[in-house]
Chains A and B, each alone.
Chain A
Amino acid sequence: MSTATTAPKAASTLRGARLPKWAPWAIAAGSVAAGIGISVAAGLHSNIQWALIAAILYILGTYVIAARVENRRQATDRVVTSLVWVAFLLAVVPLASLVWSTVQRGTKVLDVYFLTHSMGVVADSETGGGIYHAILGTLQQVGLATLIAAPVGVLTAIYLVEYGRGNLARAVTFFVDVMTGIPSIVAGLFILSLMLMFDMEPFGFAGSLALAILMMPVVVRSTEEMLKLVPNELREASLALGVPKWRTILKVVLPTSLGGITTGIMLSIARIAGETAPVLLLVFGSKFINANPFEGAQASLPLYIYQQYGSGEVTAYDRAWAASLTLIAFVMILNLVARGIARWKAPKTGR
């Protein structure tokens, strides 16, 4: 909070001595130099070591210097500030590395040919081949899952917000919350146990069912949030005109929150598009194009990545990275569009 810094500079007699603004940078530079110096002198090779030495020197240096010039409390404050910054930088490194390596290695084989051909007669050790069959499978499975999960999810949310009172609503709320935490592989095992019952072979729609189970609670929660944002005055105005409640919901409440609901559904699509485990159990994967999700094994993008990785060939690794890049791009575009819609169509509250 910036309130502390608004005190005028002239009033410095009221404040204790402060370190100059450049002091943290100077200490940082000094400790990095010392860290490298010590590492070189002691013949240590690892990057971790000089960084660790530098970090420890920096924190000690900050504390000691601040404690002498300012006071103990300020010194603790400065140490915590630097720890928070270190934590932030520490987290950025792997995440940046993930994005960087996916983009760098993924663009190696990613081209139009890759996107429009299947793995039909391509062995894992050969170059060539593509992900057309996998994209097709993912789109069909995710599309069918959305067709099931979106209506059920939105209707449940309507029940919870517009009708829900009493024990049933409370139970639904609790189990929706719990359901968001179901591991994807458990949803897959559930459908698998049904398939074992009826002696069925893997097929695309089975994967859709598992994905729908994972998607429903997310849709319910986001739709619920959006419906709660619709001002009560709108409902009351409609009801006061004698409009039945169901028409009020359909014609007033839903249109008002449509943008937010769409956003929620798109975000949940983005979330299930990358699910691998249920697809592995239920759809099984295939090298060939199978456009029928109701019969026979299908491919899917995340499963393709797993299987290409599992083959252990360098050429397959390249394909896995390219497929990862495609998948990330798909998920990110969905996310960005969804957030764009959310900003554009945000319901006007409290007017």
Chain B
Amino acid sequence: MDTTQIADAPPPTPPTPTAEQKRAARGATRPGDRIFLGLSRGSGILLLVIMAAIAGFLTYRASLAISKDEGNFLTTFEWNTGVNPPVFGIAVLAYGTIISSIIAMIIAVPIAVAIALFLTHYAPRRLSGPIAYVIDLLAAVPSIVYGLWGALVLVPYMNGLFGWLNDYLGWTGIFSWQNGAPRSMLTVGILLAIMILPIITNVSREVFRQVPQMHEEAALALGATRWEVIRMAVLPFGRSGVISASMLGLGRALGETMAVATVLSPDFLIHTSLLDPGGGTFAQNIASKFSEATEFGRDALIASGLVLFVITLLVNGAARAIIARRKEYSGANA
């Protein structure tokens, strides 16, 4: 380049992205650049390959098991892989997984949204920073610790609640209780709710924080109360964010293993009462059955894992698709 040209050039204006792209394209011809681009693109492709391999291998091993299944894989209420011919099905697991996650969502979402509102709109400013920090830390508590706490602290405490529910709501059938240890779907759902609370709160908080200040001030200037500001300015803006935050939490709840495995006392029946111990979830069943399983039994467990994989894939994909419309808040690092 000629130096006089630079001296005569007009004052620097921000270069357009196309200029940068051109420069990048020219740079890519150098050997160092080609190697570096190859390495980084290779890593990206490796991630895609891993995802494809997960789907491929799980499907292959699952097909080995399902082809020998004497029962119906989707509707059988049994898990006997050790006998010949093997009979197993995921009906109970699917029911338990969905029920426990639904309970968790019903409890966690309103509370998490309320806490997010509390942190952004209600709490004194001096309090909200440290509280948000603590909630961040709680998201990092390992699930096995929640499991241990759930089994040894929460379960004994649930006796009182279960007795109370049975006394007043037992007539519904959903809340009847025959005095088994309270290691049931309701307890699991409550524990899952506690576990997914931090992530839903974190993502919702990020969304509420991004509500344009102007909208809120406009509402206040019209004489709205704080609740009316939230109802008319904050919630409509944050709705898609809250939905995707909830779905991220749902994804966690569906795949949670250890907390369910420690708290639930499993069996292979569908109980209409949420208070009766029993049932199971995909992840819990894999963890509990794994150590005694034969190679064929492991293939059968892989088959149930494949179903879980597909379900979480759909839920997370949907959540991401909603988030993608507003790129700024992604919960991936929450």
Contacts and interface: CB of A to CB of B under 8 A. Distances in A.
Interface of A: 1, 3-4, 46-49, 73-74, 76-77, 80-81, 83-85, 87-88, 90-91, 94-95, 97-98, 101-102, 151-153, 155-156, 158-160, 162-165, 168-169, 171-172, 174-187, 189-190, 192-194, 196-197, 213, 216-218, 220-222, 225, 236, 239, 244-247, 249-250, 264, 267, 270-271, 273-277, 280-281, 302, 305-306, 309, 317, 320-321, 324, 327-328, 331-332, 335
A216 B44 CA distance: 11
B53 A190 contact: yes
A175 B51 contact: yes
B48 interface: yes
Contacts of A320: 148
Nearest to A100: B153
Interface residue tally on B, bucketed by range? 35 or more
Contact of A48 (B58, B161, B251, B305): B161
Nearest to B152: A317
Contacts of A77: 225-228
| Dominant secondary structure of chain B at its interface with chain A | helix
Interface stretch (B172-180, B271-279, B283-291): B283-291
A281 B58 CA distance: 15
B141 interface: yes
Contact of B145 (A48, A218, A225, A274): A274
B28 A102 contact: no
A171 B49 CA distance: 12
A276 B143 contact: yes
A274 B139 CA distance: 12
Contacts of B181: none
B40 A95 contact: no
A171 B47 CA distance: 10
A147 B235 CA distance: 43
Given A87-B115, A264-B333, A324 B58 contact: no
Contacts of A156: 40, 43-44, 46-47
B20 A163 contact: no
B181 to A, nearest CB: 13
A73 B227 CA distance: 9
A183 B255 contact: yes
B332 A309 contact: no
A193 B63 CA distance: 12
Interface in B4-57: 15, 20-21, 23-24, 27-28, 30, 32-33, 35-37, 39-48, 50-51, 53-54, 57
Interface string B317-334: 101100100000010110
B51 A81 contact: no
B145 A152 contact: no
Nearest to A335: B140
Q: Give the 8 A-B CB pairs with smallest separation, nearest first.
A: A274-B142, A183-B255, A181-B316, A87-B114, A246-B36, A159-B40, A221-B332, A77-B225
Contacts of A97: 149, 153
A182 B51 CA distance: 10
B110 interface: yes
Contact of B20 (A222, A236, A250): A236
B208 to A, nearest CB: 12
B121 interface: yes
Contact of A183 (B254, B261, B319): B254
B183 interface: no
Contacts of B42: 155
Contacts of B60: 193
B127 to A, nearest CB: 10
Contacts of B140: 267, 270-271, 274, 331-332, 335
Contact of A275 (B50, B123, B142): B142
A342 to B, nearest CB: 11
A216 B47 contact: yes
Interface string B235-273: 000000000000010011011111001100000000000
